[in-house]
Amino acid sequence: MLHLTVTELSAALSRGEFSSVELTRMFLDRINLLNPALNAYITVCEESALAAAAAADQARVRGDVRPLLGIPVAHKDIFCTRGLRTTCGSRILRDFLPPYDACVVEKLRQAGAVMLGKTNMDEFAMGSSNETSFFGKVGNPFDTGRVPGGSSGGSAAAVAAGLCPMATGTDTGGSIRQPASFCGITGFKPSYGRVSRWGMIAFASSLDQAGTLTKTAADAALMMQAMAGLDPRDSTSVDRPVEDYTGELGSSLAGLRVGVPRPHFAEGLSPGVEQGVREALAELERAGASLIDIDLPNNHLSVPAYYVVAPAEASANLSRYDGVRYGYRCEEPADLEDLYTRTRSEGFGDEVKRRILVGTYALSAGYYDAYYRKAQRIRRLIRQDFISAFEQVDVIAGPTSPHVAFPHGAKADPVEMYLEDIFTIAVNLAGLPGISIPAGFEEGMPFGLQIIGPDFGEARILNVARQFQQLTDWHKRLPVSTAGES
Amino acid sequence: MDKSEIDKIAKLARLRVSSADANEVTARIGEILAMIDQMQAVDTEGVEPLAHPLDAVLRLRADEVTEVDHRDELLALAPASENGLYLVPKVIE
């Protein structure tokens, strides 16, 4: 049962091949065995998982046939879970027990999924390697000396290593797609507003979006069917019918127009990744799609614009951590100023502090127009590039990341780390859906093909990804450390 | 960006940059701002700022009380509280 997809597990559970309790027990045992080396989970909730699994088994006996019933899930530790520690990878929230569940957690539980625990992540989702976590670095299951990507690195490593069959993540600038690429799995980021942000700890509110990490696009469709939809508690949640994601997976690719963005094949792309992605595109062509070169002329401005918008919004969002209402508080504050300043200085890590400083600067008197307004204007240019492109193509496809996973500690320079997201960040600025699916290996490490859709084109890109996975087996290649078991 | 400017920003953000870290922090922030400054070369005259990716206007809800009272639960999360109030160091002598 270890390497079955969610779709396969669902069928096996309904045939009675094993129970949800047995399945959950197996994953909990795997976590006990492998998590000390991988550090993919921050918190495991064994007791409540087994209780939820037993309840799912009973519901099945009563005739409940929902597809996610009894399927274990891991949540990124950015989603609030009632009564279960939610840290956001930060010292400042290391003992935080939320009084409520995030909408995503609620919806997956209502769909019958069984929560195994909370996964490691870059602190406040700020990072591309999972190395900024207060709870330590995460090993890539394909080579534990390398990073799993970030910020949803724990979720990606957990799915790749078979420590859960599906996981949630969040993607502000590439935080689902890039770790999916590095760990050889499928990572799906929906359109902005498609999934409720309620109870998801805020980083950059005009960019943050929840999504999925799974083995296959079909599994992502199953999760999305449960997660998507209007939530009145999130004022940016979209009032728009949810498509039938699973129902549209089978459509043929004949006649599909695939845009290939020239700037995504520019200098800096590793030769092995370029070759593999070009072969993946040829595979789509053989399946009946046509490839059309496109330009995204402002793509090179996406990282600079993002590093104004995201830190500015983060500096405002993170002002709530003041040591008064919840979270870490410094010892023996001399006065109120000292309480605020020392709590924040001791509670936040270096990268979070850097981004708060950059954001505060960009929003401060005299700099607002030159930075924040300017970045918002460039954001519109970037979105317009995509709108123009989608007048002539149905989807856009290229590499997710310029290279495969790098060794821990290899990128100490923040700007170099920021450029990791050069192919993913523009998608967030434009609010579009995107998916990364396994497309090959270089140096024994996986890399992904990114497929980008137009506004609310979730079903379309899931369909394209699914068809690619019917033609290839990259998504079935397992890391050596976790292979060889049933 | 120099050290005095970093100090000013840090004060606004309620963060402390220790003197041991000041050079490193100043250099790193300077590098980030230099990368961001690529924006300045672009002519954005007449381009409307984009605040929301879909240009959507936030939904308003009816002005009705919908939340139930979570006072005790929320106060229990506070590092220090007493008699239903959050405690902070004395502000007025």
pLDDT band, residue A484 (cuts 50/70/90): very low
CB A454 within 8 A of CB A432: yes
> Residue A422: what pLDDT?
94
Burial of A48 (0-12, 13-18, 19+ CB in 10 A): middle
Structure tokens at A400: 């997710």
Report pLDDT digits (tens) over A110-137.
999 999 999 999 999 999 999 999 999 9
The number of C-beta contacts closer than 8 angstroms across A and B is: 158
Q: What DSSP state is assigned to residue A406?
A: P
Q: How many angstroms separate the CA atoms of A50 and A57, rounded? A: 10
- CA dihedral A69→A73→A75→A76, nearest 10 degrees, is -140
Q: What percent of chain A has pLDDT over 70?
A: 99
Q: What percent of chain A has pLDDT over 90?
A: 97
Question: How long, in residues, is chain B?
Answer: 93
Structure tokens at A73: 């899930």
Q: Which backbone phi and psi does B75 adopt, to 5 degrees? A: -65, -30
Lowest mean pLDDT among A11-20, A22-31, A197-206, B53-62: B53-62
Q: In the predicted model, what is the mean pLDDT of residues A36-54?
A: 98
pLDDT at position A486 over 70: no
CB A43 within 8 A of CB A118: yes
Q: In the predicted model, what is the mean pLDDT of residues A231-258?
A: 96
- Going through A109-214 in order, the beta strands assigned E by DSSP cover 114-119, 166-170, 186-189, 210-214
> Residue A485: what pLDDT?
45
Report pLDDT digits (tens) over A411-437.
999 999 999 999 999 999 999 999 999
Which of B29, B51, B80 minimises the CB distance to A357? B29
Q: How many angstroms separate the CA atoms of A411 and A147, rounded? A: 10
Closest residue by Cα to residue A127 from A363, A371, A310, A337? A310
Q: What is the extent of the structural domain holding A433?
A: 6-258+391-482
ipTM: 0.95
Tell me the chain A residues in contact with residue B54 when contact means C-beta distances shorter than 8 Å.
192-193, 238, 431, 455
Q: Would you kindly state where each structural domain of chain B is located, as residue ranges?
A: 3-41
pLDDT at position A11 over 60: yes
Output the pTM of the full model.
0.97
Give exposure, A101-134, as e/b (b: 16+ Cβ within 10 Å). bbbbbbbbbebbbbbbbbbbbbbbbbbbbbbbbb
Domain count, chain A: 1
Helices (H), A365-436: 374-389, 414-418, 425-430
The SS3 call for residue A481 is helix
pLDDT at position A482 over 90: no
Q: How many angstroms separate the CA atoms of A274 and A403, rounded? A: 9
Q: Alpha-carbon Rg of chain A, whole angstroms?
A: 21
Query: Å from B17 to nearest chain A CA?
Result: 8
> Residue A481: what pLDDT?
63
Query: Å from B70 to nearest chain A CA?
Result: 9
Report pLDDT digits (tens) over A207-241.
999 999 999 999 999 999 999 999 999 999 999 99
Query: Å from B71 to nearest chain A CA?
Result: 11
Report pLDDT digits (tens) over A315-369.
999 999 999 999 999 999 999 999 999 999 999 999 999 999 999 999 998 999 9
Q: List the CATH number of the domain containing A111.
A: 3.90.1300.10
CA atoms within 13 A on the CB side of A266: 12
The more confidently predicted of residues B51 and A47 is A47
Measure the CA angle with vertex A139, ends A138 and A141; round to 5°: 135
Tell me the chain A residues in contact with residue B10 when contact means C-beta distances shorter than 8 Å.
357
pLDDT at position A27 over 60: yes
Mean pLDDT of the residues in chain A: 96
Instruction: Please check whether residue A431 touches B, CB under 8 A.
Output: yes
- pLDDT truncated to tens, each residue of chain B (93 aa)? 888 999 999 999 999 999 899 999 999 999 999 999 999 999 999 999 999 888 777 788 889 998 888 899 999 999 999 999 999 999 887
Closest residue by Cα to residue A76 from A171, A170, A181, A184? A170
In a domain, A299, yes or no: no
